[in-house]
């Protein structure tokens, strides 16, 4: 079983409830155990994890936490950045480079319609 650290938290989004949906889905495969937390101090203790999933919009990452995460990834640890992950690293140049993107803002909110045409795809909920 692979261990995943899922960091959640920040303003403006329901991180805990959305994170729980993601956690439940990932764990349903039976291949992963996900520890979901808002505690970035766990970035100082990554040796028990195979992957770090970042679903946050916080800018309070310390230099040591950034360094530990960069080391973890450079040594083969997996990193998954979801939605607002690049907001977390705005003040951390190594994190921006690692993720390959920088948050600059949202475009205008707009409605759009979605039509499901192939319900056999894995991404479509059943």
Distance between CA atoms of 47 and 55, rounded to whole angstroms? 20
Gap between the terminal Cα atoms of the chain: 25
Per-residue pLDDT of the chain (126 residues; tens, 9 = 90+): 999 999 998 887 898 999 999 999 999 999 999 999 999 899 999 999 999 999 988 777 888 998 999 999 999 999 998 887 777 776 777 777 877 877 777 788 889 898 877 767 666 555
- 14 contacts: CB under 8 Å, gap ≥ 6: none
Determine whether 69 is exposed, middle or buried from the number of CB atoms within 10 Å of its CB (0-12, 13-18, 19+): buried
- Identify the burial level of 55 via C-beta atoms within 10 angstroms of its C-beta, where 0-12 means exposed, 13-18 middle and 19 or more buried: buried
pTM: 0.79
């Amino acid at each position: 079983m692979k261990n995943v650290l899922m960091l959640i938290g920040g303003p403006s989004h329901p991180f805990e409830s959305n994170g729980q949906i993601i956690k439940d889905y990932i764990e349903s495969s039976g291949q992963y155990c996900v520890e979901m937390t808002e505690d970035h101090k766990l970035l100082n203790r990554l040796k028990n994890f195979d992957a770090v999933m970042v679903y946050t919009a916080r800018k309070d990452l310390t230099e040591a936490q950034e360094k530990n995460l960069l080391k973890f990834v450079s040594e083969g640890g997996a990193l998954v950045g979801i939605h607002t992950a690049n907001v977390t690293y705005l003040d951390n140049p190594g994190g921006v480079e690692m993720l390959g993107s920088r948050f600059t803002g949202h475009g205008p909110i707009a409605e759009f319609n979605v039509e499901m045409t192939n319900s056999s795809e894995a991404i479509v909920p059943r």
